[in-house]
Amino acid sequence: MARRSALLLSAGVLGIVPWLLTSIFQPQTFVAPRPNMTLRRGQTACRAAGAKELLFQPGQRVTLNGPPAMAGSQGIVIGPVLGNAFAIQFDNGSVFHIDLHNIEGSGTPPAAKIDYNAVRAELKTLMDDPNWDDGSYGPLLIRLAWHSSGTYSKYTNSGGSEGAAMRFVHGTEAKDPENAGLDHAIKYLQPIKDKYPLMSYSDMWILAAYVAIEHMGGPSIGFKPGRVDAPSEKACPEWDGPAIDGQASSRLPHAEYGLVEGFDRDKVLDSEGRILGWEKLAQHMRDVFYRMGFNDREIVALMTGGHLWGRCHPEHSGYAGPWVEEMTKWSNEYAADMIEDPWRMVSHGDTWLDSIGAAELRPAPGKRQYVNKFPPAEGGSGLDDPNQMMLVADMVLLWDPVFRQTLEEYAVDDTGSDDNHALRRDFAAAYKKLTELGTRTLTACPFAH
């Protein structure tokens, strides 16, 4: 291994490093050009030929014929780069741009294609399951894609959807408490992954989320494949989030960060029923999303369209209950209900929830959340309404004046069907951005919708 590493370094110094310094990754998948084809500047054979057969698939293992110092080396195709070259990741983790004629098999028939329409069709057949939460795996798949993407940092260009490192049980992502329960989604998708082995886990997770959103009435999001899976848990991003109780934390947002401790409402709430310290939580949310490159409007779009689905489970996150009444149907209900309904802070000790048929809204010990219920002694508001909850991190959108401006815009039903045109547009754009952060070799050539 030491000799091979030295050879790779030597080859890089002699002629490959300039490729790394001058090449630009292109958002197209490369196909072999026809003989004597002349390409215009900035154009790849994919766009010029309009062909659909892929010569090398991202994730495909290849052997090099050259340069001489690298002949016989093997690596994994990451994707195409400008001209007739591919980015290849070698077993020691290094990445070089290699000309097509140096990749063994360049004259053989095209590699097997991934039938993305068939993958989509199979995902749809697995989406609904009466034995799972509220009859659908969709919300869990949306969360899987979100959390695998939400580790991205623009400051270090690390993390993000590429890698799918959460599948490694000993890695920091799998051990992150914020990802509790997502192993169910990974296992659920495994049969489809087995049927389409050329498709990376990273692409599978993102496409599954897109299909889930569309299947449940949400916006259609154009899918670009090309994400490359990480070889081990070493690819997991470090825990460089804010210290919590003196311990390092992950990059994902924390629902109660910065809040005062305690459960005595007279001591922890202000005159408007807001938990003291909520301003610090609002800043924490901005820190997390700004790190990924989002602005305030995009934050509200992601929260409003993302926390619409499914429910919280006390055995996983510690929080309990659904955000909205119809948790497997796209709507603007999250924004509308947050603004229109009264909300009360509760904790595990609020056993009165059990007596009014809202036990599913009582969080685990140590957790606090807001519910659309009030005990009879406080007027009994919301007793006949569907059981709904909000995390404190959700309520911040209502309390922060800048966040609230966008929330109020999304709360307006301007379609006549519990929907909002701006929300639908903004969520699709923000979720697509989220799931493409940090990727290098996505392509629109073989598949768009």
What is the mean pLDDT of the segment spanning 318-333?
97
Question: What is the model's pLDDT at position 57?
Answer: 67
pLDDT-derived band at 79, boundaries 50, 70, 90? confident
Question: What is the model's pLDDT at position 95?
Answer: 79
Q: Where are the domains of the chain?
A: 2-102, 116-235, 253-421
Q: Which of 330, 304, 339, 310 is nearest to 322 (CA)?
A: 310
| pLDDT of residue 348 exceeding 50 | yes
Q: Give the alpha-carbon dihedral of 139, 224, 288, 430, to 10 degrees.
A: -70
CATH topology of domain 116-235: Peroxidase; domain 1 (1.10.520)
Sheet architecture: strand order including 368-371? 344-347, 368-371, 389-390
pLDDT-derived band at 444, boundaries 50, 70, 90? low
Percentage with pLDDT > 90 across the chain: 63
For 377-412, what is each residue's pLDDT tens digit?
898 877 889 999 999 999 999 999 999 999 999 999
* DSSP H/E element including 427: helix 421-436
Given the residues 97, 146, 147, 278, the one annotated as active site? 147
Q: Which of 48-52, 109-113, 196-200 has the lowest mean pLDDT?
A: 48-52
Question: What is the model's pLDDT at position 82?
Answer: 63
Q: Which of 146, 138, 153 is nearest to 214 (CA)?
A: 138
| 224 touches 230 (CB < 8 A) | no
Question: What is the model's pLDDT at position 28?
Answer: 33
For 247-296, what is each residue's pLDDT tens digit?
889 999 999 999 999 999 999 999 999 999 999 999 999 999 999 999 99
Considering Cα of 171, then 176, then 180, then 181, what sign does the dihedral take? Answer: negative
* DSSP H/E element including 192: helix 183-195
| pLDDT of residue 197 exceeding 90 | no
Question: What is the model's pLDDT at position 83?
Answer: 63
Question: What is the model's pLDDT at position 91?
Answer: 66
Question: What is the model's pLDDT at position 55?
Answer: 64
Q: Which two tokens stand for residue 353?
A: 């929830």
Q: How far apart are CA 83 and CA 379, in angstroms?
A: 70
Is 147 designated active site? yes
Q: What is the chain's mean pLDDT, rounded?
A: 84
The alpha-carbon radius of gyration of the chain (Å, integer) is 24
Q: How far apart are CA 217 and CA 129, in angstroms?
A: 17
Question: What is the model's pLDDT at position 48?
Answer: 31
What is the CATH class of 253-421? mainly alpha
The residue that leads in pLDDT, 218 or 61, is: 218
What is the mean pLDDT of the segment spanning 78-90?
75
Given the residues 146, 205, 278, 323, the one annotated as active site? 323
